[in-house]
Amino acid sequence: MTVMAAEKKLYEMSREERLDYIRKVTRITDGGIEAMLRPLPFEDANRMIENAIGIMSIPMGIATNFVINGRECVVPMAIEEPSVIAAVSNAAKIAKVKGGFIAEADDSLMIGQVQVVGLGNVKHAMTKILRNKKQLLATANSNSRSVTAVDLQVRQLRDKSPNNMGNMLLVELVIDTKDAMGANAINTMCEAIAPQVAEITDGEVVLKILSNYTTRRMVRCRATFDKEQLGGSQIVKRILYAYALAYSDAYRAVTHNKGVMNGIDAVALATGQDFRAIEAGAHAYAARDGTYRSLTSWRRTKEGDLAGGIELPLAVGVVGGVVKSHPTAKFALQILGVRSAKELAMVIAATGLAQNLAALRALSSEGIQAGHMRLHARKFSK
Ligand code: MEV
């Protein structure tokens, strides 16, 4: 897909012109765009959740200028905050000068946890579980056609809470969820093996649930931002000071990462992902060394440009869940042109990195309140 330059800037266009632009750049020929963008009918909402009373609408827009692994794409974002889309489009435009975003994603390996308590000898129980690994995996896999349990691991854990509940065993299924986020399938598998786990260990199974801390399902993205486009080497230096603060101080890191999540959540919401799961995993990862730090990293290159990177656990899906039932989410995935969960994860990571650059650049120059982000973004974006 080639994203053509729009004759007018997107913010100058009418809605119809923007939709025409999307049709052109994505080659979506389907006449159903309007239907896909209509609010969810109440009957659907009522099927989705309990005690439904209406629909909470959030604006959806598109960010432009993204080049990810050499592929140009327009990025749908659902967000209520002004300036976010303009700012991220501007950052993506600057990244484009040096080739855009380079991203990679791990396979979709997730963990499902089965917690066993009341064991006299946890080590002994671990050995017995491992001896029955093949059989447990077979049970897990007999309960799902769409995803595959590829491994099983055991861990001993000691309660660190003030309640002092003692030692416990964790039996963890490692599950390849492929192009699905996978939560339901993982939970089903955990529940399926639980009775066998209890019988083998002679213990009491308590929790049977996926982990949203998906450290085996990471995404990484990097980009270089040209120093002249950023506004000169002084801005590069000031951004590095801003990063120093976000790396070193949790009070700043939380706000820094909030800006990252402006981008990540907006694409996640538009494409029907579980953004609460993404948030929880991202923040745990930000605190992985015991201190809450920036999710992005920044450095100056030999040429004096600004190189940025982001790495985070990210479980998203392009099949199943809301993606299957929500027409707007389907449309958003169509706009993106992603065919796999990995590809979607890479777009989301690139958006988070670009969003962070936009915020840092604005904060390191005139500040946010001057309306800098919006005005500047409009000056640069199509
Ligand atoms: C506002 O939604 C996000 C920012 O506060 C992020 C940041 O401070 O880096 C601008």
* Two structure tokens written together for 31: 């006449």
Whose Cα sits closest to atom 1 in ligand 1?
259
Residue 350 · residue 103 · CB < 8 Å? yes
100 and 233 together in one domain: yes
If one counts the domains in the chain, the total is 2
Same domain as 331, residue 291 = yes
Residues 57 and 79 in one domain: yes
Buried b (16+ CB within 10 A) or exposed e, 183-204: bbbbeebbbbbbebbeebbebe
What is the mean pLDDT, run by run of 10 residues, along the chain of 382 residues?
A: 61 92 82 82 93 95 97 96 96 98 98 97 98 98 90 97 96 98 96 98 98 98 98 97 98 98 98 97 98 98 98 96 88 94 98 98 84 51 53
Do 313 and 260 have their domain in common? yes
pTM more than 0.85: yes
Distance 332 CA to ligand 1 centre (A): 25
3-state SS assignment for residue 272: coil
Q: Measure the CA–CA gap between 239 and 304, rounded to whole angstroms.
A: 12
Domain boundary among 210, 226, 253: 210
Nearest CA to ligand 1 atom 7: 256
Residue 3 lies in a domain: no
CA distances from 145 to 106, 177, 185, 199, 210 (A): 21, 10, 9, 25, 17
Using CB distances shorter than 6 Å, the residues near ligand 1 are 81, 255-256, 258-259, 262, 359, 363, 368
Q: Which atom of ligand 1 is nearest to the CA of 356?
A: 9
Catalytic residue positions, numbered: 81, 258, 274, 372
Residue with tokens 């923040």: 283
> Ligand 1, atom 2: nearest CA belongs to which residue?
259
Final residue of a structural domain among 187, 210, 233: 210
User: Residues 256, 347: one domain?
Assistant: yes
**Same domain membership, residue 222 and residue 179:** no
Q: At CA 344, angle to CA 272 and CA 28, rounded to 5?
A: 80
Q: Is 129 exposed, middle or buried (0-12, 13-18, 19+ CB in 10 A)?
A: buried
* Residue whose CB lies within 8 A of the most ligand 1 atoms, among 262, 361, 374, for a mutation test: 262
The answer to whether residues 196 and 252 belong to one domain is no
CA distance 176 to 345: 15
Q: For residue 309, which amino acid is it?
A: G
The protein residue whose alpha carbon is closest to atom 4 in ligand 1 is: 259
Report how many helices (DSSP H) and strands (DSSP E) the chain contains, helices first: 15, 10
The Å distance, Cα 360 to ligand 1 centre, comes to 8
- 245 CA to centre of ligand 1 in angstroms: 14
Any domain includes 5: no
Strands across the sheet with 296-300, in order? 102-105, 218-225, 306-313, 296-300
Nearest ligand 1 atom, CA 360: 9
Domain range for 314? 10-105+218-380
> How much is the pLDDT for 38?
86
In terms of domains, do 202 and 56 share one? no
Tokens found for residue 233: 């080497």
What's 184's domain CATH number? Answer: 3.30.70.420
Same domain assignment for residues 84 and 129: no
Alpha-carbon distance 291 to 289, whole Å?
Answer: 6
Say yes or no: 261 and 325 in one domain: yes
Q: Where are the alpha helices (DSSP H) in the chain?
A: 15-26, 33-37, 42-48, 84-97, 122-131, 133-142, 183-201, 227-230, 233-248, 250-270, 275-286, 321-325, 327-336, 341-364, 372-380
In a domain, 188, yes or no: yes
Q: Is 258 exposed, middle or buried (0-12, 13-18, 19+ CB in 10 A)?
A: exposed
Query: Which ligand 1 atom is the nearest neighbour of the CA of 259?
Result: 6
| Residue 81 CA, closest ligand 1 atom number | 2
Ramachandran angles phi, psi of 104, nearest 5°: -150, 150
User: For residue 208, what are the β-bridge partners?
Assistant: 114
Residue 66 falls inside a structural domain: yes
